[in-house]
Copies of this chain bind each other. A is one copy, B any other.
Amino acid sequence: MMPKKKSERVTIRTVAEDAGVSVAAVSKVLRDAYGVSEALRAKVQASMTTLGYRPHAAARGMRGQTYTLGVLFSDIRNPFFADIMSGVNSALERTQYQPLLGISNSGPSNELAIVNAMIDRQMDGLILVAPRMASLEASLIAERVPIVMIGHHERAATDLDTVNNDDALGAGIVVRHLAEGGHRKIAFLNIQLELAHGFLVTTQREIGYRATMTELGLGRNIHVLYAEQTVRDTQTAIKHLLASKHRPDAIFCWTDFIAFQALSVARDMGLSVPGDVAIVGYDNTTDCDLAQNALTSIDQSGQVLGLQSARLLIERIKGRTQAEHFVVTPRLVVRGSSKARSHKGADAEG
């Protein structure tokens, strides 16, 4: 019947008493702050271990850091995010920082709500993977908390860091690969956005697609379709495209997730891939390797992106004020879904 929670908690004060030092000294050891002798540090650490001391994050958050980093994902279904998370985790492995995820399945307004919730919880910094977020909004958030954005090409931003692969280049690589395989009528399937700004990954991919098509003399075959990020909308768009008189030779989907839908629709319609239509995705998620998908895709090294963003964020938290913009070079991974169409040659038409 002893009173629960009554002086049960081991605090910094308990540790201080046990070690025979001041509360301030314990705090310094806890924070790895300068100005503590090795002897004192050792004593304190011994006491912490003996007593099983755990720092109270809320209390730390009142004055200093919470050692918590927020990660915002706009979508948890896309397996690409798992790669990013794995990179974040490994970057933080031996640090005091704990990453915690917020998931916003229901669009931009929800994204802001989660960001606010993270700021309310005094998180030290945020990694935002929110491809639909407006540029202005990102700046406003950056005024309140250090942030790193993945999938936002804010090259000129000074108040926040960005981590990306070169999406325009990646899209160009895809188009070139398909053209070399004899494909001419290459369509691009993009996501429907309210505001299509140049800094968005999807827009960058579209820019790369258009530029390379033109460059290869395939300008007249440029065909961009937009669909909402729902299964129904996506499948409908693909169905229309594949049923039309001017069916494309190849469909380049802005992300694997959509490309898997395209494979499904093509199969349902009795079309062979890549015989009737080649299909290429983006992200090189693990499912691309499955034989039933065998999806050609662009590897943008999600793990590297995650790792790098966590590192940059911690640098920011520790005081860096200069912005950094990290860009990874994308890499094509060819699989069955885009094998060469024919041997008629790979020279451009017109």
Contacts and interface: CB of A to CB of B under 8 A. Distances in A.
B102 A101 contact: yes
Given A61-B58, A76-B82, A264 B286 contact: no
The copy count of this chain in the complex is: 2
Interface in A243-271: 260-261, 263-265, 267-268
Contact of A86 (B59, B82, B105, B121): B105
Contact of A62 (B59, B77, B114, B231): B59
Contacts of A68: 121
A292 B76 CA distance: 22
A265 B291 contact: yes
A72 to B, nearest CB: 11
A260 to B, nearest CB: 6
B57 A120 contact: yes
Contacts of A101: 100-103
Contacts of A121: 57-58, 66, 68, 98
Contacts of A122: 56-58
Given A76-B76, A121-B58, A231 B286 contact: yes
Interface in A38-69: 54-62, 66, 68
Contact of A287 (B59, B260, B286): B260
A77 B82 contact: yes
A92 to B, nearest CB: 11
B66 A58 contact: yes
Task: Bin the interface of chain A by size.
Answer: 35 or more
Contact of A290 (B77, B100, B260): B260
Interface string A94-107: 00001111110110
Contacts of A77: 79, 82, 286
Interface in A153-182: none
Contacts of A135: none
A293 B293 CA distance: 9
A105 B89 contact: yes
A188 interface: no
A68 B101 CA distance: 12
Interface string A204-236: 000000000000000000000000000100000
A120 B56 CA distance: 6
A117 interface: yes
A81 interface: yes
Contacts of A147: none
Interface in A73-130: 76-77, 79, 81-82, 85-86, 89, 98-103, 105-106, 114, 116-117, 119-122
Contacts of A85: 76, 103, 105
A88 to B, nearest CB: 9
The list of the 5 closest CB pairs from A to B, nearest first, reads A58-B61, A101-B101, A267-B291, A292-B292, A100-B100
16 contacts: A56-B122, A58-B58, A58-B60, A58-B66, A61-B61, A62-B62, A77-B82, A79-B79, A85-B105, A86-B105, A89-B103, A100-B102, A231-B289, A263-B290, A264-B292, A268-B291
Given A58-B61, A100-B101, A265-B291, 7 more contacts: A55-B120, A56-B120, A76-B82, A85-B103, A101-B101, A101-B103, A261-B290
